[in-house]
Chain A
Amino acid sequence: MARQEPSTPQKAHTHSVQHRDNELLTEFKTFNDKLGQLIQDSPGKFVVIKHTKILAVADDYSKALQIGYSKLGSSEPFFVEQVQDPRVSERRNKVFHTKLEYFR
């Protein structure tokens, strides 16, 4: 039986996911390459990366998002990670959070 080809939307979606995966790998590499310096300069802060470029280092997760969105808009993906020693991060109890905020 012939293998069924996926429809065009599925192909587009698969392409999009793979593309983002590749971007993410690049951004991970950028993060890891610069992690030593980032730990020295900005421990505990949040870094915003697009491809191979560090766009910003922010004090908290929300500010990192705000900077990423202000530079790239809502549809362009970007990478956000906290700057910390990977050995410490395994034991940490606070990750990727903002202060809780009340709303109605």
Chain B
Amino acid sequence: MPKISAAIQDLGPLIKCSLSVTQARANVLKSEGNKIPDRIHELIGLVDTGSEGVLIDSKHVAKLKLPVRSGRRISTIDGTSGRYRTMCEIGLIIPLEEAKVQWDGNAYCDNNLAHECDFDLIIGRDVLSSLNLHYDGPKCMFTIWHDSDS
């Protein structure tokens, strides 16, 4: 079963992941004879069950020229209720031990996330809805796994 286990850090459950274009975008770029942008590796993602969706630092989105697909007003814990964020089309690659999995979806963009929080993205419930998460507080470990048939 594809999984990843890691120690819970001071900031919480962190995993290294990669950012890419979506598979749909890769296909159209290829069919048009355009170069598919290289993936960005080694991004630090915080697994956050309190977040509805993925929030990613805008500088990574800009590097891959990922297109804006929507936008929404969101509320955050610091009280910035109703703050507008654009949502970009991203491919998020999570490296599990036996395979990598790619999630394609719309992610909220933030200009200062990496600067303010020491991680590059928040992995929220939209990604986790397809995964399993075990948070072992006493052992300071967490495990994420994917049931192949789900």
CB proximity of A102 to chain B, nearest CB, Å: 5
- Residues on A with beta carbons closer than 8 Å to the beta carbon of B112: none
- Residues on A with beta carbons closer than 8 Å to the beta carbon of B131: 100
As a 0/1 sequence over residues 72 to 98 of chain A, the CB contacts with chain B under 8 angstroms (1 = contact) are: 011001111100000000001111111
Residue among A24, A62, A74 making CB contact with B71, cutoff 8 Å: A24
Q: Nearest residue in B to A91 (C-beta to C-beta)?
A: B52
- Residues on A with beta carbons closer than 8 Å to the beta carbon of B9: none
- Residues on B with beta carbons closer than 8 Å to the beta carbon of A99: 130
- Residues on B with beta carbons closer than 8 Å to the beta carbon of A100: 101-103, 130-131, 146
Instruction: Judge whether B53 and A96 touch: CB under 8 Å.
Output: yes
- Residues on A with beta carbons closer than 8 Å to the beta carbon of B52: 92-93, 95
Instruction: Judge whether A79 and B126 touch: CB under 8 Å.
Output: no
Write the residues of chain A forming the contact surface with B, with a CB cutoff of 8 angstroms.
20, 24, 28, 61-62, 65-66, 69-70, 73-74, 77-81, 92-104
- A-B pairs with the 9 shortest C-beta distances? A65-B24, A69-B28, A96-B105, A96-B106, A100-B101, A80-B69, A94-B129, A102-B99, A95-B126
Instruction: Judge whether B89 and A65 touch: CB under 8 Å.
Output: yes
- Residues on A with beta carbons closer than 8 Å to the beta carbon of B29: 74
Q: Nearest residue in B to A98 (C-beta to C-beta)?
A: B104
B interface SS class: mixed
Greatest chain B CB density within 10 A among A28, A65, A80, A101 is at: A65
Greatest chain B CB density within 10 A among A93, A100, A103 is at: A100
Q: Nearest residue in A to B98 (C-beta to C-beta)?
A: A102
CB proximity of B50 to chain A, nearest CB, Å: 11
CA distance A69 to B22 in the complex (A): 12
As a 0/1 sequence over residues 122 to 135 of chain B, the CB contacts with chain A under 8 angstroms (1 = contact) are: 00011101110000
- Residues on A with beta carbons closer than 8 Å to the beta carbon of B89: 65, 80
Instruction: List 13 A-B pairs, Cβ < 8 Å.
Output: A65-B104, A69-B25, A73-B28, A77-B68, A80-B69, A80-B106, A93-B129, A95-B53, A97-B126, A102-B101, A103-B99, A103-B102, A104-B100
